[in-house]
Amino acid sequence: MGKQPTSSQDPLGLRRQTLYIIEMLIRNEISAKVGQLLLDILPPIYQQKNPQKMVQDLVTFFKGRLATIFDKEDFNRKFINAALETDNENIFGLFLILGVLREFKDDERFLKVVDGFRRMNNIVKDFAQKNNNSIPEKTNEKLFELDPEKKLFEISGELRGMIDAVSGKSRKEYEDIFNYMASIKVDIDNFFDNVMVMHENADVKMNRLAILNRTVRSVKTLINIEMLQ
**How confident is the model over 83-141, as pLDDT tens digits?**
999 999 999 999 999 999 999 888 898 989 999 999 999 999 999 999 887 898 899 99
* Residue 53, φ and ψ in degrees, nearest 5: -65, -45
CB 106 within 8 A of CB 220: no
Helix axes 51-72, 14-27, angle to 10 degrees: 70
Would you kindly state where each structural domain of the chain is located, as residue ranges? 14-103, 108-227
Mean pLDDT, residues 64-79: 91
Please report how many Cα atoms fall inside a 13 Å half-sphere around the Cα of residue 155, on the Cβ side.
28
User: What's the pLDDT at 3?
Assistant: 75
Q: 33: helix, coil or strand?
A: strand
User: What's the pLDDT at 57?
Assistant: 87
- Tell me the pLDDT band of 5, cut-offs 50, 70 and 90: confident
Mean pLDDT of the chain: 91
CB 97 within 8 A of CB 83: yes
Amino acid, res. 118: R
Distances in Å between the Cα of 42 and the Cα atoms of 1, 28, 50, 190 are 14, 23, 11, 51
CB 84 within 8 A of CB 66: yes
Distances in Å between the Cα of 18 and the Cα atoms of 14, 98, 223 are 6, 20, 23
**How confident is the model over 95-109, as pLDDT tens digits?**
999 999 999 888 898
CB 104 within 8 A of CB 182: yes
Fold (CATH) for 108-227? Isoleucyl-tRNA Synthetase; Domain 1 (1.10.730)
**How confident is the model over 148-186, as pLDDT tens digits?**
999 999 999 999 999 999 998 999 999 999 999 999 999
CB 22 within 8 A of CB 88: no
